[in-house]
Amino acid sequence: MENSTGNTGVVTIKETQKVLEVKCAVINGTTLEQVMMNNASFRDVCMTNLKIEDANLSDLEIQYAQLGGAYIHDIGMPPEGHPAYDPDVKQRPLKFENCYLAGSTITNCNLVDVEISDCNLTGMKINGVDVNELLRIYELNK
């Protein structure tokens, strides 16, 4: 943030409840820690190199976003030993719809009960096996 003299200023907000309306601002390097942002909205933003760690993003919706180069990992319910671990809580399913995932990789993921439908599977492989070829053989043997 720059003031009228062109100096960069730091705004510190601690242990309070506030609603922030930030428009047409450059807030590069901003750090949010131990923050509740329920019902927050980001629109027309550049968040290159954004990093989200140890976060509850239940019901998150991302729409019209460019995620090229994104690295999404260690996603799911807190593991045993984590303070928020609850063995009785099950992960709710995720939904990907109308996403361009060409060239993406899915590695070491639990895909139990995953369903893929109405997708272009050209070149898609599972453990090195061409999926279109598997489907072709399946259709021949039905």
Which tens digit of pLDDT belongs to each residue from 38-96?
Answer: 999 999 999 999 999 989 899 999 999 999 999 999 999 988 998 889 999 998 999 99
Residue 6 pLDDT > 90: no
Output the pLDDT for position 3.
45
Q: Which has the higher per-residue pLDDT, 3 or 67? A: 67
Burial class (CB in 10 A: 0-12, 13-18, 19+), 77: middle
Residue 57: left if φ>0, alpha if ψ -120 to 50, beta else—which one?
Answer: alpha
Residue 142 pLDDT > 80: yes
Which tens digit of pLDDT belongs to each residue from 113-123?
Answer: 999 999 999 99
As a whole number, mean pLDDT of residues 124-140 equals 96
